């Protein structure tokens, strides 16, 4: 459990809050590159860490991320003109480049000194891995651009999507770091002893702190005496990496959505205190990349395929307003949750807690070791930044060489020996 003041510390993300200031020391996803497909195309509204912003791709193909409102009379820049390497306010024509400089002020006398004084708030951006990243913190603390392995993977091996979640970022991320819950809410084969999740529903968990956060290992003892071992990574402040090389149903064929060996993960990016964008990435680890059509099948299996989203949004059709279309007969006879889509199942539990859960009411167990460790690290990191220190793991050197692993191992084989060479990034 967390004291109320600690819960406030790690959940509130607006500028000037402890967690908000910590988040601003890291590069964060602002938007998918595909949302800005053309130069001088329509701008896109962005809300990030409680700030209303506007993204646009300029004439040179570079992405700008600026205040949503003009510094003149606070008109909405969304209605402006994206032209000639800048976004021009439709109200009085004031124009700003992607760095925030005012490059034209046609409603004022020619040569006015006001133009040099006026700027619009602008944040630096970089595009990597199909994502536009931004840094919103102090310039003197700005780290090198993000360099996760999945950003370096070939385009044919990589896919990124995003989904909207109606709850605070932390309870969403805690679901991702909780490995024990997969034996329950994600159990699609109740009563089937071939399911790895059914054979051991109480995995042992080890947590090892590192420069980038920690790695944690879950070990499930299987009926034949072997061990199903999964090594995850928690990368501060808001990313999980995991491996997906093992099929969860023994004997399943290539139609199993886990059939393609891959690594994947999520970044839980706060929109504000009560809403989150989840960036979902996956990488095929083989040289051939993903088979044709596989990504669409995987996204649908997770419940976030194109057909699962409300058109024109990143919000799931199955959501809190319709109880995620839970099928009680399906729940009674086949699946633990009765909800279709693995991510949808997560959202039902996480959004069902309310916008910001009161952690002072919790009773934690041994399966919560990774959750407890993460909370402690975040609290420590916010205090480090408050005291003038540098945010931990902000520089790529801390995390760029890591890779998650999972495998079924003989009962007498130590995972540290078996995984030693596989824990290193390939790309």
User: What b/e string do you get for 310-331 counting C-beta neighbours within 10 Å, with b at 16 or more?
Assistant: eeeebbbbbbeeeebebeeeee
pLDDT for res 37: 98
Tokens of 17: 């809050």
CA atoms within 13 Å, Cβ hemisphere of 167: 20
Q: What is the pLDDT along the chain (427 residues), one digit of tens a residue?
A: 899 999 999 999 999 999 999 999 999 999 999 999 999 999 999 999 999 999 999 999 999 999 999 999 999 999 999 999 999 999 999 999 999 999 999 999 999 999 999 999 999 999 999 999 999 999 999 999 999 999 999 999 999 999 999 999 999 999 999 999 999 999 988 888 888 888 999 999 999 999 999 999 999 999 999 999 999 999 999 999 999 888 776 655 555 666 789 999 999 999 999 999 999 999 999 999 999 999 999 999 999 999 999 999 999 999 999 999 999 999 999 999 999 999 999 999 999 999 999 999 999 999 999 999 999 999 999 999 999 999 999 999 999 999 999 999 999 999 999 999 999 999 9
Which CATH number describes the domain made up of 38-124? 2.102.10.10
pLDDT for res 193: 83
Tokens of 258: 């886990």
Alpha-carbon distance of 271 to 43, in angstroms, equals 18
Alpha-carbon distance of 63 to 85, in angstroms, equals 10
Alpha-carbon distance of 322 to 307, in angstroms, equals 17
Q: Which of 218, 185, 242 is nearest to 370 (CA)?
A: 218
pTM of the complete model:
0.96
Are the C-beta atoms of 356 and 168 separated by less than 8 Å?
yes
- The CA angle 393-214-174, to the nearest 5 degrees, is 100
Alpha-carbon distance of 335 to 320, in angstroms, equals 19
Which CATH number describes the domain made up of 149-419? 3.90.380.10
Domain boundary assignment for the chain: 38-124, 149-419
Count the Cβ atoms, other than its own, within 10 Å of residue 69: 18
Please write down the HEC assignment for all residues of the chain.
CCCHHHHHHHHCCCCCCHHHHHHCCCCEEEEEHHHCCCCCCCCEEEEECCEEEEEEECCCCCEEEEECECCCCCCEHHHCEECCCCEECCCCCCEECCCCEEEECCCCCCCCCHHHHCECCEECEEEECCEEEECCCCHHHCCCCCCCHHHHCCHHHEEEEEEEECCCHHHHHHHHHCCHHHHCCCCCCCCCCCEHHHHCCCCEEEEEECCCEEEEEEEEECCCCCEEEEEEEEECCCEEEEECCCCCECCCCCCCCCCCCEEEEEEEEEEECCEEEEEEEEEECCCCCCCCCHHHHHHHHHCCCHHHECCCCCCECCCHHHHHHCCHHHHHHCCCCCCCCHHHHHHHHHHCCCCCCCHHHCCCCHHHHHHHHHHHHHHHHHHHHHCCCCCCCCCHHHCCCECCEEEEECCCCCHHHHHCCCCECCC
> Listing from the earlier edge strand, what are the strands of the sheet with 125-128?
28-32, 131-134, 125-128
């Amino acid at each position: 459990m967390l004291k109320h003041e600690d819960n406030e510390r790690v959940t509130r993300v607006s500028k000037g809050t402890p967690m908000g200031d910590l988040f601003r020391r890291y590069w964060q996803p602002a938007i998918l590159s595909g949302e800005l497909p053309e130069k001088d195309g329509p701008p896109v509204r962005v809300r990030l860490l409680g700030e209303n912003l506007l993204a646009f791709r300029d004439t040179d193909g570079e992405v700008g991320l600026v205040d949503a409102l003009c510094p003149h009379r606070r008109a909405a820049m969304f209605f402006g003109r994206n032209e000639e390497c800048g976004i021009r306010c439709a109200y009085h024509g004031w124009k700003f480049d992607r760095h925030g400089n005012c490059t034209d002020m046609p409603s004022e006398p020619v040569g006015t000194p006001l133009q040099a004084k006026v700027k619009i708030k602008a944040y630096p951006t970089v595009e990597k891995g199909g994502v536009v990243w931004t840094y919103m913190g102090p310039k003197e603390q700005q780290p090198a651009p993000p360099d996760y392995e999945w950003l370096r993977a070939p385009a044919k091996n990589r896919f990124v999507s995003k989904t909207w979640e109606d709850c605070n970022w932390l309870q969403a991320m805690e679901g991702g770091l909780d490995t024990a819950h997969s034996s329950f809410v994600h159990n699609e084969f109740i009563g089937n002893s071939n399911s790895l999740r059914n054979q051991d529903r109480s995995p042992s968990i080890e947590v090892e702190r590192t420069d980038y956060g920690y790695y944690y290992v879950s070990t499930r003892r299987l009926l034949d005496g072997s061990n199903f071992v999964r090594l995850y990574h928690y990368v501060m402040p808001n990313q999980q990496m995991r491996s997906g090389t093992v099929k969860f149903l023994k004997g399943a064929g290539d139609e199993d959505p886990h059939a393609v060996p891959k690594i994947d993960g999520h970044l839980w990016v706060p929109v504000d205190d009560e809403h989150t964008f989840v960036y979902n990435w996956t990488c095929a680890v083989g040289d051939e990349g993903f088979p044709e059509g596989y990504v669409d099948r995987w996204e649908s299996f997770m419940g976030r395929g194109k057909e699962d989203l409300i058109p024109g949004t990143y919000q799931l059709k199955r959501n809190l307003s319709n109880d995620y279309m839970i099928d009680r007969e399906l729940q009674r006879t086949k699946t633990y949750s009765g909800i279709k889509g693995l991510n949808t199942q997560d959202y039902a539990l996480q959004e069902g807690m309310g916008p910001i859960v009161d952690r002072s009411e919790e009773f934690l167990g041994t399966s919560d070791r990774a959750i407890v460790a993460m909370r402690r690290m975040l609290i420590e990191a916010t205090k480090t930044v408050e005291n003038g220190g540098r945010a931990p793991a902000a520089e790529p050197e801390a995390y760029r060489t890591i890779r998650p692993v999972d495998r079924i191992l003989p009962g007498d084989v130590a995972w540290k020996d078996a995984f030693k060479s596989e824990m290193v990034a390939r790309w």
